[in-house]
Structure formats: structure tokens, C-alpha cells
Structure 1
Amino acid sequence: MRPLPFCLFWLLGLVSSQKIPRLKLVPKDALWSAFPETESPKAVFYDVDSRQVLIGGRGMLWVLTFTDSEITQQNITLKAEEKAEKDCQRKNASREVNCDNLIRVIEKWDKKILVCGTNAGAPKCWFLINTTTWEKKNEGQVITLLGENIVPALDSQNAVAIAVEGSLYSALSGNKSSIHRSYGTKKGIKTEDSWLGNAEFVGAAALAEKNPSLDEIFFFYNEVNQTAGLDEEPYRAQLGRVCKVDMGGKPILTDSWSTFLKARLVCGHPHEPLRFHHLRDAFVFTKDGKDKAVLYGVFSSTWGSSAVCSYSMDRISSIFKTSTFKGATGSIPIPRPGTCVSPDSYHVLPRQTLTFIKDHPELDTVIYPDEEHPLYILRNNDTYTRVVVDRVQDASNESYDVLFLGTAKGKIHKVLRSKEQTVIIAEISPFKEQEPISSMILDSSRGYLYVSTRAEVTRLPLFDCEQYSENCWKCVLARDPYCGWDVEERKCSAVSQSKNSTASRLLQSLDSTNTTHVCEAAEEKLVQEALKKVSVDPTSYIYLPCPLRSHHAIYTWVKDDKTYPCSMDEQSCTLRFGESTPMDQGVFRCTAKEEGYQEEITAFKVTLNGGKISEVSLVVVATGILFLTITILLL
């Protein structure tokens, strides 16, 4: 037999790593609120100090305060300036142009909250004090800033902003894409027009070094491939980087970045065709320092699939320091273009270094994910739109990354990344409408996840252990690092995130190969459901439902040691009698087996009788959610 080529092994690996959520949950303790139908929020900000969520709308800022039991809402009006609105209406009388003030950026800067809007095509920013009052001058006039470098004039274009040590960094999407240091303690500088090609920005992150002069700021975006053919990708994901201390380079780049570099980002294997090029969202996890910082990205493909990829930021920084430059020939100037140096050195950079970076800002090296393949691929008629990441200590003080991924259908996937594999712990459905997740903000210190769509907003608890509290096995098999089985309290409890805590007394196993004996010491005899009795005619068609408690378990119908096939759907492993499976009588039991644990889910005693046939609606109580109509015999 010929050995399989490497590419086929890799593709088979991807197939086996296609994920489905183990559990499908509806949160019990989530706080929820809806937006007015006419609104479509474009900016969401969480203020850690006040514990308030600020949401930008059309001429309005909503301030939501979350308590333990309710959400209170305060509306702050922020209309477009009268002159700007009149100018907009006059210029666009014959075109459908939005002349409102659409809030696009909310960011904490210099101990105040900066709110920027389109202002009827003349972008402007305002300062919010105590999340209730606009900052004013002594004579009572509201203080404003010009916002053309922070937010776009048009609602259709995206904007990204990040505040770093008193300076505001911003990126504008569209035909005239740019990255600016807009305001603050450092000189305002920007990208050259030729460096960005019709960019679509999705995020930004600051990466601190031990030496502050080496701190970097990264921007994540897509460039539209306007010359793409039928078989080429319409988007190319890119990663742009600047140095925090960059002051521009005289005389060639006086008002422009002298350290800007960019590199292409791909989710997939370098030598295989299955790749993902459209970056939907990016999140840089930096809790444990730069050497352990990880970039998580969610990508989509032209054929409708999503993939999750991770990249070591230490490896990315190394590529920026060592890669050759696209389109460049000859030797690389010294100092190396794009190198972060002391602030005073930017005024004396050699002309050849500045000329080189002006003409060749892109690296030759394409950045592929760690281990050169996605963590997993999602193929279930849904795509990912957002990602945030938390690092959690389990009951043994081992650290794990937990990903929260928002989907285009308003779901949230809670994903455990362990050393051995990546597992979707659960799919959470917190919203009434199936709208794409547009914003996700994590407050890990207080244990909450704030999620919004264009229609709704909610706060979810990270430690939602009551969902698994039926018994020890339900708790342990959930593989949720936030939760463990408390033997003394006989319930699934939150794992403390402080070291040397009593969490070690909790039973937990995040390794799927080592769950068989975890619950033996705490195992209780489970209460079996009452045997359901059904009398049927031998010629009728009957359906016996077995509710799915875990989508990762293997379900089996058995009668007298004989196994029967079942039909799987989202809710049940249903045993269907018919031509292919003749009717029989006896006790039919449905069991679920997962990682060494086997449980009987339901059982039916079927009796065959003769007599008058009638159609009746029979409610089969298996999960409380499944109702089937079957033909039975009236005795």
C-alpha cells in the first residue's frame, strides 16, 4: 500500500478537527437589553472604573449600568452641529447621504472618555466626564476636537482607535486608508499614501517591552485585492506595525512614520491550498508578558467557512526584525529600516534608511500560524465575527486559554485550548434575534463578558457552573476550566483564580484521556427515568426520541444486546421503525458514552397489539422539549 502524502494527512487532520459545540446552552443569569429598532450601534466601550458600557448610536450615547439584577440606561444626546448638518444637506440634496452624527469611536484617553462621530460629514470629537457630562470651557462652551483623522466622514467606512501613554493612535478604512498618531503628548504623524491599499481595519493592540523605547503598536486589517481574478482571493489580511517612540524622519519622512512596516497574515499551511485570507477580528492576549503574548484571529473564506488561528507575538516581532523586504534589491541599510530606537535617533536616521522604508514598507515573509495550521475550522452554516480570550487557572493552578467567539447568527462559542486539542465547550444563545455579534468585551477581573449585536446587548457570567451542576460527571465532562465538582458541597462550583486557594479540592479533568476515574470517589447512583410504556400496531411507524445531552457523546439504542441505528439531528438520536428497521417489542434503551462514562438517557417498553387504529398525538417526555406524533393502538 502506498503511503499517504503529507498534504492528505494534513487535510484529514483538518477534517477531524472540524468542531461542533459539546453543549448548547441558554444562559440563566444573563442581564439583557434591546436597542430601538431604528438604531444600529457602531461603537461599544466598557469603562472598567465605572463598570459601565457606553454605546454609540445616531446622535445619541447610551450609558448602561449593570448591577447584580438589572440594567439601568441613561441617554446622552449628541446631535450633529447645526452648521455641519446644513452644509451636508446642501451638498447632498440629490443623494442619500446620512447627515446625522453617527458615533464611531469611544476610547478612554487622558483620564477622560473621548467620543467621536461623523458629525454630518465633518467628523468631530467630544470629551465625556464621569460618563454623564460633556467637558466644557470656563465660559460654558463644549470642548471639541477635529476628528477627520479618527473617524471617517461616511458611515460605511470602519475606524479603529487605541490610546497609549497619553497619545491617540487611529486608523481609517477606505480608499484613502491611513494610520495616524492623532493627538497627545507626541508629534502627530501618519502613513504615506502609497503604503496602504484600500484597507479595512478590524483592530489594534499595543505590545510593551522591558525597554519602553522598543514598545510597538500593531494594526490588523484587510487590503482589498482590486485586481483579483476569478480564482484569486478578494482580500489579503495584513498586520501593520509602528514604534511608539517614532517621531518621524527628517527630511524625507518629516510628518510620516519612519518605522512603519507591514506583513501579510495567512491562516493555513504554507504549502497547501486550504487557506483563509479574510480577517474578521483579532485579539492580542498579553496577560503574562510579551514573550507569552498570542495573537488570535478569526478568518473567513470565499466558500463560507471560518477558521481560528493563533500566532506567537514573539515570533511575529522576530520576523519584523529579520525578514527581507518585498521588491527590494541589494543590501539592507544600517540601521535596519523599521527598527525601534531611542526617541532622539529618529531625527538623525540616515537618508538611505528613510528612502528604503518609504519605498519598501512590506516584508517578504508571510506570517503563518503557530504549527502552520488553524486551531480548527467551523463548517456549520455559521461564521465567526468576533474573538476575545481569557487565561484561566484550573483547579491545579495550570493555565489555559479560553476563547469566546461570536458568530454571524448571534451565538457565542466557548472554546478551551489545551496542549492536546481545541474543544468547543458550549454554544451559548443569549439573544432573541439571530443578528451577527458586533462587539465582545471581557472583564476577566470581575468575571463577565459583555456582548452586543445591532439589536441587543447582554452581560454573561464567565463562571456559569450551575449549567453543569446535576452531578459530578456532568461537571467534569463539561471540561470548563472555570468550574469543578465540589465533593463536600455536592455541586459544580467556580474555581478560584487566586493561587494556593482551596480550588485544589475540586474535581476537574481538562485532559480528555484522563476522565475515567475522576468522579469515582464522588459518584452517586443516578436516578433513572421511569420506563415509558407504548402500545402500537405492528404496521404503524413509531419514533422513539433520545435527547442529546452532549453533542460529543456516542449514542446507542439497544434491546436484548441488539444494537439499533438512530437518526441524528440537533436535538435527538431518534430510533425510527419502518421498512428498514421492522417493528419489534421489548425494552429499548438509549445510552450515551463519552470519555469512559456511560449513562442511560431514556428507555421505552414497546408492546405490539392488534385492534382499531387511530391517529393520536402522543407527547413523549424525554427532555421536555421534543414532541412527536405517532400512530398508536387504542386498547
Structure 2
Amino acid sequence: MKRFVLIYIWLAGDFQVVLSVGLKDTPFLGSKDSPRVLSKDITSGRFDYQIYQNHTVFLYNEDSAEMYVGGTDFVLQLDVNDFHIIEKFPLKTTGQQQCQEDSCENVITVIEKFQDSLFVCGTNGQNPQCWKLFSSVNNQSNEIMESYEGKGITPYLYTHNSISLTVEGDLYTAAPLDTDGSSLQFRRKAGSRTNVWMYDNWVSEPTFIYASWVERKEDPDNEKIYIFFREKNSDHNPEADPWISRVARVCKVDEGGSKRFFQNMWTSFLKARLVCGFPEESLYFNRLQDIYVMPAEDWHNTTIYALFTSSWNSTAVCIYSVRMIEEIFETSAFKGYDKDIPNPRPGTCVKNSKSLPLATVNMVKDYPEMTEWVHSVHYTAPFYISSNNYTKIVVDQVQAADQSMYNVLLLATDSGKIHKVLEAGSEPFIISETQLYSQSTIQSMKLDSKKKKLVVGFSETIYSVDLQRCQEYNNSCADCVLARDPYCAWTKFGCTPTVPEGIQDVMDGQIRVCPTTVEENKQVHRTKRETLSSPHDLTVHSVPLGVPFYLSCPIDSYHAVYTWKHRDQSSPCLQMQSDCLHLIPAMAQENYGSYACVSEEKDYTKVVKNYDLTEQIIPKSMEDTKRSNTHYKLNNASAVVPQMILITLGLAVACFKT
């Protein structure tokens, strides 16, 4: 629910409305659904485009510092350490084009390492084209290029759906075959193996999201390519979601059918419904948005993180294993088929697919869908649900101080934020939110797990985000441990990138792991045993009787509960964006004295801010009062005028309760 408050400013005895502050994007205090820490503009590198880019695509190799960026009429080779241009490949539209002015550009949509070169494809003014790019040798030339027809590899317009994947020298793609974006198929389009494509009836108006090869080192002939997509729902009931999410697979060794039947068609294509939601309530997130695949030594344990949206403006992350996906494809009945299943079972990988029996291929042709659905590993509910509109996901694996491995989800919002979410068993923990400089939609996002950096692409710029921002929890051992950030641990140098001897409790965030003696525990914080009268971070204000006044303290953890302590009384914090307020409508004698803003999180209590309010005597005559008010305003502008802001108490309390 949108929250807002009206802010009034007091000046010379009058109240005026000066600002209406929207709090829609402000996290709720004390809620586990809020990010614990908010930060802004924390980047470790940046590259600005000369011209605004409607579409960009990245190719990034963690083993080098090089990244290729495809934009409009160019490919850049960047050094991600300092984001300087290593090389620029200009790729203007070529040939005679019959295109409208706004679509005559060459927008790059495919960048893949393919065979011995960089394989690049672009819209080329609605005449799809591909090029092999070779970096310059001895600075003799900028590039050497070979050109190829790109139909079926890259779309006619960048707004059309497309994906690409290279596997052992073969190129797999999905791109429209027609100028209107239709006839969209997943194909093996180039390489050492036979070109193979889909049967039209297998999918209905698909939107392809991702394709992934799952390697089986001990059994390469049974390796599969998995395709994740959503397609139009055949159920036209008004209450049914118009989309259904799918996972499909084909065999890497599939060469298509015989010359008599299904030649150059996939003979191993199968698909199943990918379910994310609440099965017991028949409530599902049906619109697949993004996929991240985390490989494992044992291919069965390869993990798929899937990002979904819903018709009720909510997003969810569900987690699947290849073991569970394979179990459905290997054991489920075939939807709509009630006869004996032929041998070999449809979808089986064979070295010579052209020799498959007609009955097996016919079943793939007519009944490719599994009856059973692919459920997530948590089954009864998604792993993570949020009202944020997430658009992209990557997942990093982090080794903690105790050598245990933890997965951290990095989720991009449509307003340029990155949420860092810990996968702690079956429960998510939202570690932090980072607002980048740009507040537009993130176009591209690549993880560098080795350097622990996230490369984020916007229309106007590229940022490198350091994932080990431990300085944000550097106040004390307790702050560092409560963060539950596996990238960070407490050491004698403060909160630092995780080392084996560091202090951490990633699973529970219990501060009992911190040192307890005064000598060991050199932290700037307070515990429940400490009094509130100490001059810790003390601010003194002299305030006249009868004037409105407010106190504020910064929120450093949105998982904490904040309270204002004054004498023997406690009052709740009134949250305004990233501050906690205490409002005094009119100063009275009982309002003077010491105030402490106290935060409590789990079993950790600390004083964030201390104030002392003393009475300022105002002359009684009218002229003196006016002069005194003016003098009071001018001479205390930096410290006091901000204190004259008053949020009407009844309205503020009502708003924050919603």
C-alpha cells in the first residue's frame, strides 16, 4: 500500500505545507520482508555510452578481465578492471535496406564465442546479419570480418524475442523467421552437427527465456540442452492466466529424423510445465521472466533459479534441480496419450537419431508434453515472494568463514536497484538493497564470481558493483554478524571480506559468537545493561517553550525495532524514509531533558543517537519576540531550522500503521 505524509514547517508561529513525501519504496521497519541495509551509488567502476542504448548484450569471461558489449552499430571490448576500451568494432548496417527510419540501425543481439572467433549478430536494418570478428594483430587492422546471413539467429527488430547458446562448437538459437516476429523456433543453426529445428505445433506463441547445456562428463552421449520459455495458454477461461511456463529438453546428439520422416527435426523434444506457486491453493506464478543455472560437479545437483511474475503484481523465485526435471521427463506419462509407450521411450538420446523407430518419433511429434508438472524443491510455496518488480536474477556461491558454501541471489528491480538475498536453508534473508545511480530498468547483468563483482548494464552506462561491501557493517562485531552476509566477517581489522579466522554466523546471525570482554570487544555500541545517560553521540538543542520540534536518528538496519527513550517513558519511532522521528507538537517543561534513539535487533540493543533538549528563554515583548525569532532562525539555521519540521501526529501515525 502506498504511504504518504504531509510535512509542515513552522516559521514565526505559522504552519505551511511544504512537501508531500511518497514512501512507496521505503521498506517497513522490523519486517523480514525488507532489506536489512540500504545503500546508494556504491560502484567500483563505470563506463558511459556516448549515445543512449535501447538494447545491449554482454559476453563476459570470468577467467579474463575482458568483456564484450554489443550495442547499436558497434561491439566494444572492455577491460572491466577500469572500464577502458580495448578495441571497438564498428558494425553499421550493410546492404540495401527497405526499413523505416527508426529500424535501419544494426542493433547487436547475439555475442558468442563460436569456434575460433567472436560470433556477432545484429538486426542490420531488418535484414539479420552475422559476423565473425577477429581482434587486430600487431595493431595492423582494427578487425577482420567474415559475414553470414543471420535469419533464424538474430531477430529483425531488437524488441523481438531471441536467445542464443554455444555448445562445443555448435550454435543453438531461437529467433523469429518472419519480419513480424512470428515463426519463433529453437534451432541448432550452425556448427559441426546437423542443423535441426522444431515442429510448429510443439509451442504456441512462445517467449524464450534461456537455454542451458548441462554437461555429463561421464556420459556425454546423454547430455541435454534445456530450454526455458513461456507460451500462450490453450485454456481461454477468463480466470486462467494467459501464459504457462515451460521447461523443454533436446539431446545434444540429436541429428533429426530419417530422410523419410522428420528430417532435420528434433526427434528428442519433450516439454513439461514449470510450476511455481502454492499447489494446495492452485495459485501459481505463471510468467517466467529470467533463469540462472548453477552447475554442480554431479550434474544431478545442477540448480535452476527461476524468476516469475504474476497477474497480481507480485514476483517470486522458485528453485529446481536437474534431477527433479529429469525424473519428470523419464517417468511421467505423456499428456493425451493412453496407449503403450514405444521402445525406446520418446526423448531417449541415441547416437543415431535417424534410425529411431517411427512409433517413437511419431509420439514426439504428436505428444511431446508430460502429464506431470515440474515442481520446485520447496514444493508447497516459492522460495521467495516479493512485491518488487524484479527483472533479472544471478546467483553467486560464497564460501563462509567456516568453509561452508552459501548461495546469494542478486535480483535486479525495474528501478535500478540490486537486492542481495541469502538462501539460508529454506528461508530467504534480504541482506541489502543497493540503489545504483540510474533508476531505469537494468538491461544486462553478469556475475564475476571469482572477483565477487556484478556488472550491470543500463541504457546510458555500465557499472561494476563490489559484492564485498563490508564497510557498511563496520560499526561493531554485532553489526557485522547480524548482517548475515557471507561475503563479510569480523576480524581484528573490522568487518572485512571473509577469511577463515573471521567471526560469522550466516545461518542465524547470533551475536554470541562475538567477543564479550571490554578488551576484546572494542565496539561503539550499547547493550541492555548500559544506561542512556552517557554522552555517546550527544547532540544538544536549545528550544523555546511552545514551539513544535522533532528529533531524528538514522536507520542503519530495517530489521531492527527503534524506540525513543525519555526519562521513564518509551515511544515508538515514526519512520520517514531512512530516518526515525520523535515528534513534539509544542514544547512543554516535561519535554526537556535527555532522549535516546535505541534500536533492538534479536538480542542486540544499541543507542543510535543521544539528544539533550534545554529551554531557550524568549523575551516577552512582541518586538523582542519577533527579533528573537529572526535571530533564532538565522543563527541556528544549520541545526535548528530542520528541527522546525512537524508531521501532524494523528496523520503520521495513521499513515505508518498502513
1:240–1:436: structure 2 CA closer, same or farther, 3 Å change rule?
Answer: same
Greater mean alpha carbon deviation, residues 238-247 or residues 364-373: 364-373
Matching residue within 208, 215, 222 for 1:214: 222
Alignment of 1:463-474 (within 5 A): 463-474=468-479
Alignment of 1:25-174 (within 5 A): 25-26=39-40, 28=42, 30-67=44-81, 69=82, 71-72=84-85, 74-83=87-96, 85=97, 88-89=98-99, 98-130=103-135, 142-172=145-175, 174=181
| Structure-1 residue corresponding to 2:341 | 332
| Structure-2 residue corresponding to 1:629 | 644
Amino acid at match of 1:81: T
1:175 touches 1:197 (CA, 8 Å); kept in 2? no
1:169-195 CA-partner distances (Å, limit 9, x unpaired): 111254312010011111110011111
Which TM-score applies when normalising by structure 2? 0.83
Name the CA distance, whole Å, in 2 between partners of 1:353 and 1:144: 39
Instruction: Give the deviation of 1:470 after TM superposition.
Output: 3.1
1:135–1:477: structure 2 CA closer, same or farther, 3 Å change rule?
Answer: farther
Q: What SS class does the counterpart of residue 357 from structure 1 fall into?
A: helix
Instruction: Give the deviation of 1:311 after TM superposition.
Output: 1.0
Query: Is residue 2:532 matched to residue 1:536?
Result: no
Name the CA distance, whole Å, in 1 between partners of 2:407 and 2:638: 41
Q: What SS class does the counterpart of residue 75 from structure 1 fall into?
A: strand
Q: What SS class does the counterpart of residue 79 from structure 1 fall into?
A: coil
Name the CA distance, whole Å, in 2 between partners of 1:371 and 1:144: 48
Q: What SS class does the counterpart of residue 533 from structure 1 fall into?
A: strand
1:573–1:581: structure 2 CA closer, same or farther, 3 Å change rule?
Answer: farther
Query: Is residue 2:246 matched to residue 1:238?
Result: yes
Instruction: Give the deviation of 1:97 after TM superposition.
Output: 5.8
Name the CA distance, whole Å, in 2 between partners of 1:320 and 1:587: 68
Amino acid at match of 1:292: N
Query: Is residue 2:312 matched to residue 1:303?
Result: yes
Matching residue within 493, 501, 505 for 2:501: 505
Matching residue within 375, 394, 409 for 2:400: 394
Amino acid at match of 1:318: E
1:20–1:117: structure 2 CA closer, same or farther, 3 Å change rule?
Answer: same
1:228-254 CA-partner distances (Å, limit 9, x unpaired): 454331322111211111111223221
Tell me the C-alpha RMSD between the 2 structures: 2.9
1:37–1:56: structure 2 CA closer, same or farther, 3 Å change rule?
Answer: same
Matching residue within 478, 482, 488 for 1:483: 488
Name the CA distance, whole Å, in 1 between partners of 2:538 and 2:102: 66
| Structure-1 residue corresponding to 2:524 | 526
| Structure-2 residue corresponding to 1:374 | 382
Q: Which runs of 5+ in 1 are unaligned?
A: 1-15, 90-94, 496-502
Across the two proteins, how many residue pairs are aligned to each other?
Answer: 587
Amino acid at match of 1:232: A
Instruction: Give the deviation of 1:426 after TM superposition.
Output: 0.9
2:123 touches 2:129 (CA, 8 Å); kept in 1? yes
Q: Which structure carries more relative contact order (alpha carbon 8 Å, separation 6+)? A: 2
1:404-426 CA-partner distances (Å, limit 9, x unpaired): 11110111111111125211111
Name the CA distance, whole Å, in 1 between partners of 2:615 and 2:416: 46
Query: Is residue 2:281 matched to residue 1:264?
Result: no
Name the CA distance, whole Å, in 2 between partners of 1:365 and 1:386: 28
Percent identity between the aligned chains? 32
Instruction: Give the deviation of 1:206 after TM superposition.
Output: 0.9
Q: What SS class does the counterpart of residue 507 from structure 1 fall into?
A: coil
2:594 touches 2:613 (CA, 8 Å); kept in 1? yes
Name the CA distance, whole Å, in 2 between partners of 1:183 and 1:568: 58
Name the CA distance, whole Å, in 2 between partners of 1:18 and 1:475: 18
Name the CA distance, whole Å, in 2 between partners of 1:482 and 1:476: 11
Amino acid at match of 2:514: V
| Structure-2 residue corresponding to 1:593 | 600
| Structure-2 residue corresponding to 1:462 | 467
1:602-626 CA-partner distances (Å, limit 9, x unpaired): 011123456347373867879xxx9
1:208 touches 1:214 (CA, 8 Å); kept in 2? no
1:409–1:627: structure 2 CA closer, same or farther, 3 Å change rule?
Answer: farther
| Structure-1 residue corresponding to 2:528 | none
Instruction: Give the deviation of 1:583 after TM superposition.
Output: 6.6
Amino acid at match of 2:494: K
Which TM-score applies when normalising by structure 1? 0.86
Name the CA distance, whole Å, in 2 between partners of 1:582 and 1:420: 53
Q: What SS class does the counterpart of residue 257 from structure 1 fall into?
A: coil
1:27 touches 1:460 (CA, 8 Å); kept in 2? no
1:40-98 CA-partner distances (Å, limit 9, x unpaired): 2332211345422222122111222223x553364321012123x2xx24xxxxx6661
2:165 touches 2:211 (CA, 8 Å); kept in 1? yes
| Structure-2 residue corresponding to 1:283 | 292
Instruction: Give the deviation of 1:105 after TM superposition.
Output: 0.5
1:70–1:155: structure 2 CA closer, same or farther, 3 Å change rule?
Answer: closer
Name the CA distance, whole Å, in 1 between partners of 2:362 and 2:230: 26
2:77 touches 2:87 (CA, 8 Å); kept in 1? yes
Query: Is residue 2:495 matched to residue 1:492?
Result: yes
1:351–1:420: structure 2 CA closer, same or farther, 3 Å change rule?
Answer: closer
Name the CA distance, whole Å, in 2 between partners of 1:133 and 1:419: 53
Q: What SS class does the counterpart of residue 200 from structure 2 fall into?
A: coil
Matching residue within 605, 616, 629 for 2:612: 605
Instruction: Give the deviation of 1:150 after TM superposition.
Output: 0.9
Amino acid at match of 2:484: R
| Structure-2 residue corresponding to 1:584 | 591
Name the CA distance, whole Å, in 2 between partners of 1:359 and 1:232: 24
Q: What SS class does the counterpart of residue 325 from structure 2 fall into?
A: helix
Larger radius of gyration: 2
Instruction: Give the deviation of 1:134 after TM superposition.
Output: 13
1:228–1:484: structure 2 CA closer, same or farther, 3 Å change rule?
Answer: same
Instruction: Give the deviation of 1:481 after TM superposition.
Output: 0.8
Q: What SS class does the counterpart of residue 370 from structure 1 fall into?
A: coil
Name the CA distance, whole Å, in 2 between partners of 1:273 and 1:123: 43
